[in-house]
Amino acid sequence: MVEPARAELNLKICKSCAFTGPDVPRPRGYMSYAHKTGAEIQILSAESWSDQKKYIIPNGNGRSCVKNFSKNIAV
C-alpha cells in the first residue's frame, strides 16, 4: 500500500519497496565547487552518473579529475 504522502507526489511504490527494491536504481551525487566560497550538491540519476563518472572520479594515478580529463582532449 502506498502511503498517502507518496500518493500526493504521484509516486506509485511504497517507501519500503522503494528503498529495498533491486529494480530501482539509486540516484548518485557529488559536491561541485563552482566558487571558493561555496559548493553545490549535484544529484544525478543512475544513468547520468555512469555516463559522467569519468569526469568526476579521479583515475587513481594521483592526478586530479580535471587533469585526467584535459589530457584526453585532442587539440
Task: Answer whether residue 15 is part of any domain.
Answer: yes
Task: Answer whether residue 75 is part of any domain.
Answer: no
**pLDDT reported for residue 57:** 73
Task: Answer whether residue 17 is part of any domain.
Answer: yes
Task: Answer whether residue 45 is part of any domain.
Answer: yes
Question: Based on the structure, what is the number of domains in the chain?
Answer: 1
Cell numbers standing for residue 28: 548518485
CB atoms inside a 10 Å sphere around CB 22: 5
Residue 13 has pLDDT above 80, yes or no: yes
Write the pLDDT tens digit of every residue in 47-64: 888 888 777 776 666 556
Query: Looking only at Cα atoms, what is the longest distance across the chain?
Result: 56
C-alpha–C-alpha distance, residues 74 and 71, integer Å: 8
Task: Answer whether residue 10 is part of any domain.
Answer: yes
Task: Answer whether residue 29 is part of any domain.
Answer: yes
**pLDDT reported for residue 16:** 82
Task: Answer whether residue 50 is part of any domain.
Answer: yes
Containing domain of residue 40, as a range? 4-70
